[in-house]
Amino acid sequence: MKLPVYLLPVPSQIENIMKSQDMESQINNLLNTRFIGRQLHYYPHLSTTMDTARELVKKGAGEGTVVIAGTQTAGKGRIGRTWFSPEGSLAMSVILKPPIKNLPQLVMIASLAVVGAIKHVSGLEAGIKWPNDVMIRGKKVCGILIENEVAEGKVNYADIGIGINVNFNPRELPQITDIATSLSHESGKEISVVQLAATLIDELERLYLAAQDGAPVHSEWQKKMETLGKHIKVDTGKTIEHGVAETVTENGNLILRSTDGNFVEIVAGDITVIKD
């Protein structure tokens, strides 16, 4: 007679499951939202929250589903770059299904929500570097990547990926020392990842609903945009443009007054500040 074989989780898997459940309930207990974060999946380690979120959508996950990872082994950045997510990071993907007219506002909503959450949990003032890097004292503390699927004029889903450097010393990480900072480094104190995640989710929902009610998200975003008025270089992937960052459009594009005096509208690109 053949006896059934039961596969039992090994101790490290049990530890991960317990950590996940603990984090999920801690974050859930702090949430004040109607729908964002009410389905929340926490993983101590993931390759990238972007892929996990997309897989969940394909299996029917609803609007507001959140995926959080403690660390990522294959974090994705903008323009095909990798995103470094060591211990002490917050890596989050949020699934939204906005009306198509609100899709361009997600960039603004996400970066404004991060700036608000940082202020709330750490007291630090952060600014936005176009299009959606969040900066403190000239160094990057958060990156945002948005992936979406649109068909027949309808948004099937948008995945807002947010990576925040929370509790680590950037000076110990040569990969990012020169360009990045963290909340603990800037504030001189450890920041609660649970509190940060919950506040960020609250802020995202507040701004997302306000935008759909016609709130002036664009002008709030413009006020926090520290790039404006600066001499910059923009690498669009096809051309390099030089000039002064004049303003941003309602769709989030950057208007550059180029060195020959012409105005150029930049849809996507990577900027370097040449002169404040």
Contact residues: ligand BTN, CB under 6 A: 48-50, 72, 75-78, 81, 83, 85, 91-93, 133, 143-145, 161-163
If the CB atoms of residues 109 and 144 are measured against ligand BTN, the closer one turns out to be 144
Q: Are 241 and 253 in contact (CB under 8 A)?
A: no
* Beta partners for residue 128, in sequence order: 134, 225
If the CB atoms of residues 233 and 257 are measured against ligand BTN, the closer one turns out to be 233
If the CB atoms of residues 135 and 211 are measured against ligand BTN, the closer one turns out to be 135
Q: Are 208 and 41 in contact (CB under 8 A)?
A: no
Rounded to whole angstroms, what are the CA distances from 257 to 116, 241, 242?
Answer: 30, 10, 8
If the CB atoms of residues 84 and 210 are measured against ligand BTN, the closer one turns out to be 84
Reported as type and span, the H/E element at residue 212 is: helix 193-212
Q: Are 93 and 204 in contact (CB under 8 A)?
A: no
**Residue 162 C-beta: closest distance to ligand BTN, Å:** 6
If the CB atoms of residues 235 and 246 are measured against ligand BTN, the closer one turns out to be 235
Q: Using CB positions, name the residue nearest to ligand BTN.
A: 143
What's the half-sphere exposure (Cβ side, CA atoms, 13 Å) at 75? 26
Residue among 15, 35, 84 nearest 209 (CA)? 35
Give, in degrees to the nearest 5, the angle at Cα 145 between 140 and 149.
Answer: 170
**Residue 89 C-beta: closest distance to ligand BTN, Å:** 8
In sequence order, what E strands does 47-193 have?
66-76, 82-85, 89-96, 127-129, 133-136, 139-151, 154-165
Which pair of structure tokens corresponds to residue 254?
A: 């950057």
**Residue 208 C-beta: closest distance to ligand BTN, Å:** 18
If the CB atoms of residues 42 and 219 are measured against ligand BTN, the closer one turns out to be 42
**Residue 39 C-beta: closest distance to ligand BTN, Å:** 17
If the CB atoms of residues 76 and 139 are measured against ligand BTN, the closer one turns out to be 76
**Residue 108 C-beta: closest distance to ligand BTN, Å:** 15
* Beta partners for residue 247, in sequence order: 255
Looking only at the bridges linking them, the beta strands covering 40-46 and 270-275 are unpaired
